[in-house]
């Protein structure tokens, strides 16, 4: 009788302790978050999948859900700033020589899924992580553009980066901001135009090219401000296409001066008041 009574007391205490633990800190949440911070990328992918399952379960407290949201944002920042560039531990014998690891496609699916989840949160705290992923295209750039002025400071600062990948990614964001008119006030447009002028003098040809792609989405009166510098680029841009494997058809030996050709194309559109093909004009 005494033994039975003692067991009931022990079980009762354990139940209270377990209830207290799950009400404040779901142990699975802590375990998942710990796995997102290190290890192989495949381990982090599994942690991401587990986090999604937890977030969709409807069983988390608001505090737990918030912790996972922040964890996913930090995971995207980690993967975008070198995490996924870590080499695979075990190369595959039949992998193509130019394949970026035999898990290239799996990495791509995981990365795009992670970006989509973070973008879908519509959380301003994700702006730095999404900017780090801006090179992946519209899946990241359009959600950033959707934040409008809230994302402008960080976006313009990244355009000044010495890393051409980061700079061009941020220029894609500016292009989306202009195309979808999520930033349209006079002060912000002045800042954007000043940053684009600076980008046109970048030593990296890709930055100059993407600056022109953004200029194309300015209104006519703003585009015309760039005509003198675009004429200079069209005549004297130094890039001669050493990174271009195929000569652009239709012109002569200067085919590889792709930056000059882009400036010439833009000058014609400005002169003819042509808008970009497929311009949307609606918020993303």
Q: Mind giving me the DSSP string for 94-117?
A: TS-TTSSSTTHHHHHHHHHHHHHH
CA 131 to chain centroid, in Å, comes to 4
Q: Where in the chain is the domain with CATH 1.25.10.10?
A: 138-284
String of b and e for 199-227 (b: at least 16 CB within 10 Å)?
bbebebbbbbbbbbbbbbbbeeebbeebe
Question: Options 3.30.950.10, 1.20.1740.10, 1.50.10.100, 1.25.10.10; which CATH number does 138-284 get?
Answer: 1.25.10.10
Tokens 């996924």 appear where?
84
Angle at alpha carbon of residue 187, lines to 183 and 192, rounded to 5°: 60
Angstrom CA distances, 173 to 135, 139, 163, 193, 204, stand at 10, 11, 16, 14, 18
C-alpha 119: how far from its chain's center? 9
Residues 6+ apart with CB under 8 A from 59: none
CA–CA separation, 25 and 95 (whole Å) = 43
Tokens 């002045």 map to which residue?
190
What are the pLDDT tens digits along the chain (284 aa)? 444 443 343 334 334 333 433 444 455 899 999 999 988 999 999 999 999 999 999 999 999 999 999 999 999 999 999 888 776 544 444 444 444 444 688 999 999 999 999 999 999 999 999 999 999 999 999 999 999 999 999 999 999 999 999 999 999 999 999 999 999 999 999 999 999 999 999 999 999 999 999 999 999 999 999 999 999 999 999 998 776 555 555 555 446 889 999 999 999 999 999 999 877 776 67
């Amino acid at each position: 009788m005494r033994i039975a009574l003692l067991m009931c007391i022990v079980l009762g205490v354990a139940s209270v302790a377990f209830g207290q633990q799950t009400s404040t800190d779901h142990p699975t949440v802590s375990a998942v978050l710990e796995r997102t911070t290190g290890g192989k990328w495949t381990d982090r992918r599994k942690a991401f999948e587990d986090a999604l399952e937890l977030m969709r379960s409807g069983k988390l407290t608001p505090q737990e859900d918030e912790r996972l949201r922040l964890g996913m944002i930090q995971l995207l920042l980690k993967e975008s700033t070198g995490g996924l560039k870590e080499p695979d531990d075990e190369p595959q014998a039949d992998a193509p020589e130019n394949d970026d690891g035999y898990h290239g496609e799996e990495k791509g699916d995981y990365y795009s899924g992670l970006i989509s989840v973070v973008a879908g949160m519509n959380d301003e705290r994700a702006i730095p992580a999404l900017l780090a992923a801006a090179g992946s295209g519209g899946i990241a750039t359009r959600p950033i553009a959707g934040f409008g002025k809230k994302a402008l400071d960080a976006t313009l600062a990244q355009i000044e980066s010495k890393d051409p990948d980061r700079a061009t990614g941020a220029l894609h964001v500016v292009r989306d901001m202009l195309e979808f008119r999520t930033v349209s006030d006079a002060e912000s447009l002045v800042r954007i135009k000043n940053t684009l002028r600076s980008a046109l003098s970048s030593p990296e040809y890709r930055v100059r090219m993407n600056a022109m792609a953004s200029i194309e989405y300015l209104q006519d009166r703003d585009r015309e401000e760039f005509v003198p510098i675009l004429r200079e680029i069209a005549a004297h841009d130094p890039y001669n296409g050493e990174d271009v494997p195929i000569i652009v058809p239709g012109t002569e030996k200067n085919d590889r001066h792709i930056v000059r050709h882009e400036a010439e194309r833009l000058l014609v559109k400005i002169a003819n008041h042509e808008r970009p093909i497929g311009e949307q004009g609606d918020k993303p």
